[in-house]
Amino acid sequence: MADFEPRIVAFCCNWCSYAGADGAGVARLQMPTNFRIIRTMCSARVDPEFVLRAFAKGADGVVVLGCHPADCHYIGGNYRARRRVALLRMVLEQYGFDPKRLKLEWVSASEGEKFQKTIVEFVDTIKALGPTPLQKEAN
Amino acid sequence: MGFFDKLFKKNEKTEAAPAAEPKAEPVSTKASIQAEPPKAAEPAPAPAEKKECCCKEEPKAAPAAAPAAATEETVGLQAADLGELLPGAPAGGKIKLAIYWAAACGGCDVSILDTNERILTIGDMADIVMWPIAADGKEKDIEAMEDGEITVSIISGAIRSSENEHMVKLLRKKSKIVVAYGTCACFGGSPALANLVSGADEILDYVYTKTPSSANFQADYHADAPVIPQTSYQAPEGELTIPVLYDVVKTLDQVIDVDYSVPGCPPLQETISHMLKAVADFAYNGVALPPKGTMIGVTTKTLCEECSRKKENARITKIYEPHEVDVKDGVCLMDQGILCLGPATVGGCGGRCTSAGQPCRGCYGPTEDVQELGASMFTAVASLFPVLDEDPTCGEDEIIEIMKEVKDPLGYFYAFTLGKSLIKRAVKEKGGQ
């Protein structure tokens, strides 16, 4: 278990979190390299199907990052996103996943440090949870 | 904790909870919190005859019957007129038709009888070589046939036991065309909800030792070791076997190659007429069959497009069951706080349930552009709840409290399509360091 390196999919909104991730890189903040960023125009663009597909393809965790409440480039996208994530977490729990495998966090364009902190914490969470319980189909 | 334990725990909780709020209150005050203005440029509804359907067997050589059906002013799929198409046996002799049920309730078989008196003309067109519910053909008769001898096999039901798997593989080998008939064969249907328990053992254990009737029986007669059916038994005369129950329920196309799918729980008569017309056109007139993989009897858009109710984009904060409120006519069920799967379900049925005041449960499956009916519903339902004044300041837990209004999202949104969903079955966290 000690050598378990989680695979994490991070959905970043174009206007805040992706710029925040960029800022973290420019500032050379150290963070684990277990995540792959997928840029979306808005956190509300993250269709629940994307998240389920990430899990179905073997992701150990998914993190959705968007603009702070009241700060969305499209006015209300992040409110929709958080309701979807709330529903998804309920469904993942019903499937038997630990809902902590799906995380929603707000990271603004200037918050490189918060991006780093979010990733570090999330990787720790997933390491503690272990690999995804979803097994490849037997036959 | 097993699935059933959880279920019972939940039930206990609900019983203990104080009585639900009064139900007599009129809907309008509760259901619509704020109505968003309707879209400015509402396009005029398309004329009914322009509705597309995926079954592209537009009759070229077909007789005069088709135009009459097309001018009728109803939405959804029109019935194909079979009247002229089944005039006695085809020139090349009767075709062979097999109808089989796997893990199904039998409703699909009964729906074939929904063709009413046409069932007799189907008899003119085809020899029914197998139909466990109504005809006499047996497994050995099918086995004795040559490969591809059966023209069409119509298979309903999901695949959940070794017998199901054996029979559908046999029919696939002996048939030219295999039709996945009904929601269970296409998407897993209700049987696939069994994928949410840990496996066949949990189901057998529950059914044979925990249900009140079997628990008493086991306690009275097999107190030391409960009797659970075994798949094989060594009798003095030889070994007796019964089919093995699988851990995972599968859809038909996850087991064999399927040519066409006919969704519906059960498929409507209109849908069946299109399927039979395609077969009859092929048998009598040599008209080419629709391309492989065609979903017969569905449109390209969602059910909302053909629903008779009007959407006003109301936002809701509370969800009701249809029996808890007086369902208003002509108004979208979602606007009235009833969870309807119409926004995510493919059209084709004409909205029969919704026009009768019952929400769509999604038996026709998702549209062809998405894989997951459930995921599309999360999107729709999340937007159904209004953005509140406290939204900018509240935490994630409060949002979860709001969304908990949706009870059992997995069971409700995947009631018919779990077999085709992305995750497909329950998982178990093993824990990390």
Q: Residue B270's pLDDT is what?
A: 81
Chain B (360-399) residues lying within 8 Å, Cβ to Cβ, of chain A = 370-372, 374-376, 378-379, 381-383, 385, 387, 391-393, 396, 399
**A80–B399 C-beta distance less than 8 A:** no
pLDDT at B284 over 90: no
Q: Quick one: pLDDT band at residue B309, thresholds 50, 70, 90? A: very high
pLDDT reading at B395 higher than 50: yes
Partners of residue A48 in chain B, C-beta under 8 Å: 372, 374-376, 378-379
A102 contacts in chain B (CB < 8 Å): none
pLDDT tens column, B231-267: 999 999 999 999 999 999 999 999 999 999 999 999 9
DSSP label of B20: P
Domain boundaries, chain B: 23-36+301-420, 78-191+247-285, 200-220+227-244
- DSSP letters, B219-250, are HHH-SSS-----SEEEETTEEEE-PPEEEEEE
Q: Average pLDDT over chain B, rounded to whole?
A: 80
Residue B196: burial class (beta carbons within 10 Å; 0-12, 13-18, 19+):
middle
Chain A residues with CB under 8 Å of B372 CB are 48-49, 52
Q: Cβ contacts (< 8 Å) between A85 and chain B: which residues?
A: 396
CA distance B399 to A24: 29
Please, is B300 exposed, middle or buried when counting C-beta atoms within 10 Å of its C-beta (0-12, 13-18, 19+)? middle
Q: Which of A10-24, B3-17, B413-427 has the lowest mean pLDDT?
A: B3-17
Candidate from A53-62, B25-34, B268-277 with smallest mean pLDDT: B25-34
pLDDT of residue B396: 82
Strand A61-66 and strand A35-40: the pairing is unpaired
Lowest mean pLDDT across A55-59, B83-87, B141-145 = B83-87
The reply to whether residue A52 touches residue B411, judged by beta carbons under 8 angstroms, is no
Mean pLDDT value across residues B296-325: 90
Q: Does B433 touch chain A (CB under 8 A)?
A: yes
Cβ proximity of B334 and B101 under 8 Å:
no
- Distance between the two ends of chain B, CA-based, in angstroms? 21
Distance (Å, whole) CA A14 – CA B298: 37
The Cα B65–Cα B77 span in angstroms is 15
Angle at B385 between CA B383 and CA B389, to 5 degrees: 110
Q: CATH classification of B78-191+247-285 is 3.40.50.700, yes or no?
A: yes
Distance CA A44, CA A80 (A): 6
Residue of A nearest to B413 (CA): A91
Architecture field, domain A8-129: 3-Layer(aba) Sandwich (3.40)
A134 touches chain B (CB under 8 A): yes
Q: What is the pLDDT of residue B52?
A: 38
Contacts of B62 by beta carbon, 8 Å cutoff, 6+ apart: B85, B277, B281, B285, B287
* The pLDDT value given to residue B189: 93
**CB A88 to CB B426 under 8 A?**
no
| Residue contact B430–A48, C-beta within 8 A | no
Residues across chain A: 139
Q: How far is B256 from chain A (nearest CA, A)?
A: 13
pLDDT digits (tens, 9 = 90+) for B191-221: 999 999 988 999 999 999 999 888 888 888 8
CA distance B160 to B144: 25
CA distance A53 to chain B (A): 6
More confident residue, B116 or A93: A93
Of A69, A98, A127, the CB nearest to B391: A69
Is the CB of A52 inside 8 Å of chain B's CB atoms?
yes
Q: Do B396 and A104 touch (CB under 8 A)?
A: yes
CB contact under 8 A, A94 and B391: no
Yes or no: say if B421 and A92 are a contact pair by the CB < 8 Å rule: no
Of A95-109, B14-28, B415-429, the poorest mean pLDDT is in B14-28
> Out of A79, A95, A134, whose CB is closest to B410?
A95
Nearest CB partner across the interface for B429, out of A69, A94, A133? A133
B-contacting residues in A 81-100 (Cβ below 8 Å): 82-91, 94-98
pLDDT of residue B244: 94
Share of chain B above pLDDT 70, in %: 79
User: Looking at per-residue confidence, does A3 or B127 come out higher?
Assistant: B127
Pick from B399, B410, B422: CB nearest A83: B399
Determine the residue among B195, B378, B413 to mutate to test chain A binding: the one whose Cβ has the most chain A Cβ atoms within 10 Å.
B378
Report pTM: 0.81
Quickly count: other Cβ atoms within 10 Å of residue B399's Cβ.
23
Cβ–Cβ contacts within 10 Å for residue A61, how many? Answer: 26
CB proximity A124 to B under 8 Å: no
A47 touches chain B (CB under 8 A): yes
Question: Nearest Cα to B326, choosing from B31, B35, B33, B36?
Answer: B31
Check A86 against B379: CB less than 8 A apart: no
Degrees (nearest 5) of the Cα angle B16, B196, B351? 85
Under a CB-based contact definition with an 8 Å cutoff, are residues B262 and B171 in contact? Answer: no
Confidence of residue B6 (pLDDT cuts 50, 70, 90): low
Q: Which of B12-21, B125-134, B386-395 has the lowest average pLDDT?
A: B12-21
**Interface contact B432-A4, CB threshold 8 A:** yes
Q: Is the pLDDT of residue B346 over 90?
A: yes
Q: Which of B9, B255, B388, B399 to mutate to test the interface with A (most CBs of A within 10 A)?
A: B399
The domain limits of chain A are: 8-129
Going by pLDDT thresholds of 50, 70 and 90, the confidence category of residue B10 is low
How far does CA B142 lie from the centroid of its chain? 28
Count of CB atoms situated within 10 Å of the CB of B39: 9
What's the mean pLDDT in A67-89?
Answer: 91
Does B408 reach chain A within 8 Å, measured CB to CB? yes
Position A60 scores a pLDDT of 94
CB-based contact B75:B350 (threshold 8 Å): yes
pLDDT per position as a tens digit, B27-77: 333 333 333 333 333 333 333 333 334 443 333 333 333 333 333 344 556
| pLDDT value for A1 | 52
